[in-house]
């Protein structure tokens, strides 16, 4: 086996800890250093992981002998930290969203193109086993020409950390479009192979979050609410995307709505269609002159974060392309920017 990849993690909060565990599970990486501004978290995770280098400034981590870093800081720091890491010659696994907006994403990609490092965007939903199975079906032409996608992720009550950085546009870049839509748009385009969104007509709403004291909920990720904080992002969005003359996509992405919780990506082809659920996959097609539903079997135990880490390590070794490229990340961010622009304009807008 090749020498283990020496890895550092910048931001060792919830998602950073997941990255750390994924690297360790591969058996192909040594976790050399971690970085976080929270001293207590840095100490506790350092002890749990047995990491020697525990640093509070990411610039100090970049001076440590590491080959690659996972960038798991808040969205507002993605551009700064990713660019500094690439300029330091490190390979970078960058958490989603790629940046606050497409302009920042373009800056990161431009730096990656000039650097010696690999840039992979952490689009882990692609690495789920059911996603891989569906991609194989589509690649082999079993669904025919994909002409429409549906991306739906609606929570009845699911605003994270109300009043905190999740709901502060300057820190997060947006609401559920940035938090959730980024996954569903990436997955839809990756499955279908349509990476050229040309226009979008969309509308976003903020009906629950801004009325923080009146928000009724059962539980809250990254809570409890900070009623003296900020909520200036959307909590619901819907729209229609054109991919030139080839295909279309409808979407509904929400943190909060008075409806049932739903989560799926659907692709429609002229030979068959498919719906990808959180833990399931169903193919809708025809056999022997009859309509049939097919439910492929797959290894449900496969951990998509571990698969993501394995592919990143392989890309760093030059054995494969990154599992999700920076240019694809830029496309997703351009689409999200256009959705916000369309909502603000009250009209369809072109995506350039």
In the predicted model, what is the mean pLDDT of residues 95-122? 98
Q: Which CATH number fits domain 128-301+333-350: 3.30.360.10, 2.40.110.10, 3.30.413.10, 3.40.630.10?
A: 3.30.360.10
Positive/negative CA dihedral, 77, 80, 85, 86: positive
Confidence of residue 155 (pLDDT cuts 50, 70, 90): very high
Q: What is the pLDDT of residue 103?
A: 98
For residue 7 the two structure tokens come to: 């890895």
Distant-in-sequence, close-in-space partners of 167: CB < 8 Å, separation ≥ 6: 159, 160, 161, 175, 209, 229, 230, 231, 232, 233
| Strand, coil or helix: 54 | strand
Instruction: Render pLDDT for 174-233 as a digit per residue (tens, 0 to 9).
Output: 999 999 999 999 999 999 999 999 999 999 999 999 999 999 999 999 999 999 999 999
The CATH 3.40.50.720 portion of the chain extends over 5-125+305-324
Q: What is the pLDDT of residue 300?
A: 87
Placement of tokens 């748009």 in the chain: 185
Task: Indicate if the pLDDT at residue 2 is higher than 80.
Answer: no
Q: What is the 3-state secondary structure (H, E, C) of 76-119?
A: HHHHHHHHHHHHCCCEEEEECCCCCCHHHHHHHHHHHHHCCCCE
Helix axis angle for 304-316 and 14-26, nearest 10°, is 70
Can you tell me the distance from the alpha carbon of 210 to that of 236, in angstroms, rounded to the nearest whole number? 12
Task: Indicate if the pLDDT at residue 339 is higher than 90.
Answer: yes
Q: What is the pLDDT of residue 1?
A: 47
The CATH 3.30.360.10 portion of the chain extends over 128-301+333-350
- CATH numeric code, 5-125+305-324: 3.40.50.720
């Amino acid at each position: 086996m090749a020498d283990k990849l020496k890895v550092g993690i910048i931001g060792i909060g919830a998602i950073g800890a997941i990255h750390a565990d994924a690297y360790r599970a591969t058996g192909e990486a040594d976790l050399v250093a971690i970085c976080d501004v929270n001293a207590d978290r840095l100490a506790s995770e350092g002890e749990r992981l047995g990491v020697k280098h525990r640093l509070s400034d990411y610039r100090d981590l970049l001076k440590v002998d590491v080959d690659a870093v996972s960038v798991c800081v808040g969205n507002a720091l993605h551009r700064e930290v990713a660019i500094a890491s690439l300029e330091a010659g490190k390979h970078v696994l960058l958490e989603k969203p790629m940046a606050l907006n497409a302009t920042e994403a373009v800056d990161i990609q431009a730096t990656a193109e000039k650097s010696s490092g690999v840039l992979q965007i952490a689009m882990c939903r692609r690495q789920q086993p059911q996603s891989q199975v569906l991609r194989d079906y589509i690649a082999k032409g079993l669904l025919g020409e994909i002409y429409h996608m549906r991306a739906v992720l609606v929570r009845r009550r699911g605003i994270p950390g109300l009043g905190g950085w999740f709901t502060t546009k300057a820190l997060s870049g947006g609401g559920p479009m940035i938090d959730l839509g980024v996954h569903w748009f990436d997955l839809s385009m990756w499955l279908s192979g349509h990476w050229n969104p040309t226009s979008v007509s969309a509308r976003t709403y903020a009906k629950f979050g801004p009325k923080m004291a009146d928000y009724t909920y059962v539980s809250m990720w990254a809570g409890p609410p900070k009623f003296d904080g900020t909520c200036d992002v959307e909590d619901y969005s819907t729209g229609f995307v054109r991919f030139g003359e080839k295909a279309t996509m409808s979407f509904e992405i929400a943190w909060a709505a008075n409806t049932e919780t739903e989560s799926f990506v659907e692709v429609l082809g002229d030979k068959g269609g498919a719906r990808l659920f959180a833990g399931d996959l169903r193919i809708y097609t025809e056999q022997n002159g009859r309509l049939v539903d097919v439910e492929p079997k797959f290894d449900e135990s496969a951990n998509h974060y571990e698969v993501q880490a394995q592919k990143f390590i392989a890309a760093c070794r030059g054995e494969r392309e990154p599992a999700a490229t920076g240019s694809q990340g830029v496309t997703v961010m351009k689409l999200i920017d256009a959705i916000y622009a369309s909502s603000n304009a009250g009209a369809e807008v072109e995506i350039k």
